[in-house]
Structure 1
Amino acid sequence: MENLRKGFPVLEQFTYLNTAASGLLPEAVWEFRQNHDLDFLLGASVFKDKQAKILSETRELTGEVFGCPPSQVALVPNFSYGFNTLLEGFEKPHKALLLKNDYPSLNWSVGSRDFEINYAEINANLERNIAEAFVKQQPDFFAFSMVQYLNGIKIDLDFIRDLKEKYPETLLIADGTQFCGTEQLNFEQSGLDVLICSTYKWLNAGYGNAFMLFKKKLENKISPKTLGFGSFQGKYKAHEGNFIGKFEPGHQDTLNYGSLAEALKLTKKIGINEISSRINSLSKKAKTEFIKLNLLEESVVKRKAHSSIFNLKGDDKLFEYLKSKQIIVSKRGDGIRVSFHYFNTEKELDFLLKELKKFGV
């Protein structure tokens, strides 16, 4: 475990339980960024001639890690840009299903357009609520976060596959920002039609990079309006038509997308199954201990499977107390959000529990 922590100097200063807000920058990614800008400083356009290679490698690594052909991978700066570009490609009006109180960048984007929107509740019966909403009025698309940013409730991926089999014409669009990098995902077998992920959280790739995964058939259902010279430049664009190019209209930032490639190499080196195992082990212990302290909402307590994100009952005084102990967490909703990644330890969890009890929760 200590070997997995060595690449993250910030862990020497803090008990960092805040990946759900911002992932760490690994030394391997930092070193790439240093070398990248030095090469740019010294080489200018000579260095930039390598741009296509960097972008292709990032696209191919993303496809490899998440089970998607690289010709169906688009590189975008963040979730919001990709999702809004996608929505502009829909013919309107469309019936949409969302989750109530899902991530604002998701729900606000749909709500700002001329869609007929229904909502399903996020609680212990999440999957049943979604199924009932489909029966009541089958949507044209269902957009949702795979893991909820407020309390960590994670949707059942087997349920998503079953839902797609039952409603093949409904497009399933997922925000994977709080999911990707925590466990194995084979996009082609997932039942999802689109997955969009900002990679500055659980993939530890820094800011300014994200990716979109598409099923091939989507090209016949959505027509994005965005287009530019960059839409036709590079491997997998002109060769495969122009669909992914419509999400990449301008100059692509090799610093940021190259950072994603380096982060994915680190994920591959450690192994996603090893990462998942460590996260799950810590999450189960954390949930058990938080339940003993009566710190979790009922909907989370009743869920069989959960992510490693928890929203603990607590106020500003508790938040400031934890911060004074160099425990880095976030205020979210009515509570305090903590999140555990593979580089966190049981020792850190025990320290958090000790300080929570000292505060008097």
Structure 2
Amino acid sequence: MKNLRKEFPILAQNTYLNTASSGLLYDSLLDFRQEHDLDFLISGSIFRDPQATFLSNVRKTIATFFKNSEGDTILTPNFSLGFNTILNGLEKSKKVLLLDEDYPSINFAVANKGFKICYAKVNATLEQNIENAIKKHKPDIFAFSLVQYINGIAIDHEFLAFLKNKYPDILIIADATQFCGTKVFNFDTSGIDIMGCSGYKWLLGGYGNGFMLFKNNILDNITPSDYKNAASNTDYDSSYTSLQARFECGHLDTFNFGSLQYSLNFLTKIGLPNIETHIHELCDYAKSELANLQLLEEDVIKRSKHSSIFNLKGDHRLFNQLQKDHIITSLRGSGIRISLHFFNTIEDLDKLFNTLHRYR
């Protein structure tokens, strides 16, 4: 992995522990983006004419990467737009289970549309809390982040499969923006009905791209009948009236979605199993050392599995000192959030620990 660090110029002068905020642009992706716009510059509409074929190839790349069918893979500029499109088509009488303090793009999006809402608490017993809430409130929909953006607590994927098997009528919708690109994942065999992701974090796709994955028949089930009736009674081209068109309305940017496709191929060449193993090693080391320093909340320490995100006990003073030492992090919640990707190293973590020992 160390040989790949030269792809990321920012790492020459900084210890970047902030992928949860923004993934990095890297040299070979920059080359692709410059070539893309140069082709557009000299060809204009001739360059744009085959965009339908190009975008179809992007869908195919995403579907292959996450083990889904191409027809049930939809392009969207970001998770939030895709998620709100889903919510706008659902009956407001539905009851939605949310996780307390989950990302506002989920919780506020549901709350401001008038759905009935119930909550499960995010702590060391997250999975049990979810099942208890389902038994008590009997929700129609469960919408959540696979990884909590503040403290990195991650829901167990085997639990989701169990949940779907036990409660098959609940529509399970997951935001995977803080997850995709960190582990090998098979959407087809998961317990998730709909999974969305923005591509600018661990997928390193840059901004303005994302996708929604649907299990077989789910897209049809969540499409309003008024839309389907109107589509069946018009002669408009299917690019305006298909089930996918409700999400992919208007022009899609080949620059942004081409960047996502390029990065998915980049990650594939590195190997998701290799990335997963490396991140796991970093996270094990980080969790052990941070726990020894008493910088992690008890709920995180108690869980046997964790994500690539940690929230350290710390204030603005410590955050500013980290910045002075060229260690890039984020202030989130009541602490300082760090996040790890394949380009990070044990040496990066040791630099962080040295600063923490000196200034905490």
TM-score (norm 1): 0.95
Residue 35 (str. 1) matches residue 35 (str. 2): yes
Q: Given that residues 231 and 250 in structure 1 are in contact (C-alpha distance below 8 angstroms), is that contact kept between their aligned partners in structure 2?
A: no
Structure 2 distance, partners of 1:56, 1:67, is 16
Q: Given that residues 230 and 250 in structure 1 are in contact (C-alpha distance below 8 angstroms), is that contact kept between their aligned partners in structure 2?
A: no
User: Which deviates further from its counterpart, 131-140 or 201-210?
Assistant: 131-140
| Partner in structure 2 of residue 257 of structure 1 | 257
Structure 1 distance, partners of 2:292, 2:149, is 23
| Partner in structure 2 of residue 275 of structure 1 | 275
| Partner in structure 2 of residue 75 of structure 1 | 75
Structure 1 distance, partners of 2:215, 2:236, is 22
Q: Given that residues 231 and 247 in structure 1 are in contact (C-alpha distance below 8 angstroms), is that contact kept between their aligned partners in structure 2?
A: no
Structure 2 distance, partners of 1:338, 1:219, is 36
1:54-73 equivalences under 5 Å are 54-73=54-73
Structure 1 distance, partners of 2:68, 2:7, is 28
Counterpart secondary structure, 1:201: coil
Structure 2 distance, partners of 1:185, 1:86, is 23
Residue 216 (str. 1) matches residue 216 (str. 2): yes
User: Which deviates further from its counterpart, 270-279 or 53-62?
Assistant: 53-62
Residue 232 (str. 1) matches residue 231 (str. 2): no
Q: Given that residues 66 and 187 in structure 1 are in contact (C-alpha distance below 8 angstroms), is that contact kept between their aligned partners in structure 2?
A: yes
Q: Percent identity?
A: 51
Structure 1 residues 14, 65: closer, same or farther in 2, change over 3 A? same
| Partner in structure 2 of residue 101 of structure 1 | 101
* Unaligned runs of at least 5 residues, structure 1: none
Q: Given that residues 199 and 209 in structure 2 are in contact (C-alpha distance below 8 angstroms), is that contact kept between their aligned partners in structure 1?
A: yes
Q: Given that residues 72 and 219 in structure 2 are in contact (C-alpha distance below 8 angstroms), is that contact kept between their aligned partners in structure 1?
A: no
Structure 2 distance, partners of 1:53, 1:275, is 30
Q: How much has 1:230 moved relative to structure 2?
A: 11
Structure 1 distance, partners of 2:219, 2:295, is 46
Deviations for 1:248-289, whole angstroms, at most 9, x for unmatched residues? 011110000000000000011001110000000000000000
1:1-361 equivalences under 5 Å are 1-223=1-223, 232-233=238-239, 242-359=242-359, 361=360
Structure 1 residues 230, 150: closer, same or farther in 2, change over 3 A? farther
Structure 1 distance, partners of 2:350, 2:3, is 20
Deviations for 1:61-92, whole angstroms, at most 9, x for unmatched residues? 10001010111100000111010001011122
Structure 2 distance, partners of 1:13, 1:56, is 39
Deviations for 1:284-313, whole angstroms, at most 9, x for unmatched residues? 000000000000001101000001100000
Q: Given that residues 2 and 345 in structure 2 are in contact (C-alpha distance below 8 angstroms), is that contact kept between their aligned partners in structure 1?
A: no
Counterpart secondary structure, 2:7: coil
User: Which deviates further from its counterpart, 134-143 or 169-178?
Assistant: 134-143
Q: Given that residues 89 and 222 in structure 1 are in contact (C-alpha distance below 8 angstroms), is that contact kept between their aligned partners in structure 2?
A: yes
Q: Given that residues 93 and 116 in structure 1 are in contact (C-alpha distance below 8 angstroms), is that contact kept between their aligned partners in structure 2?
A: yes
Structure 2 distance, partners of 1:186, 1:346, is 29
How many residue pairs end up in the alignment? 354
Question: Considering only aligned residues, what root-mean-square deviation do their CA atoms show, in Å?
Answer: 1.7
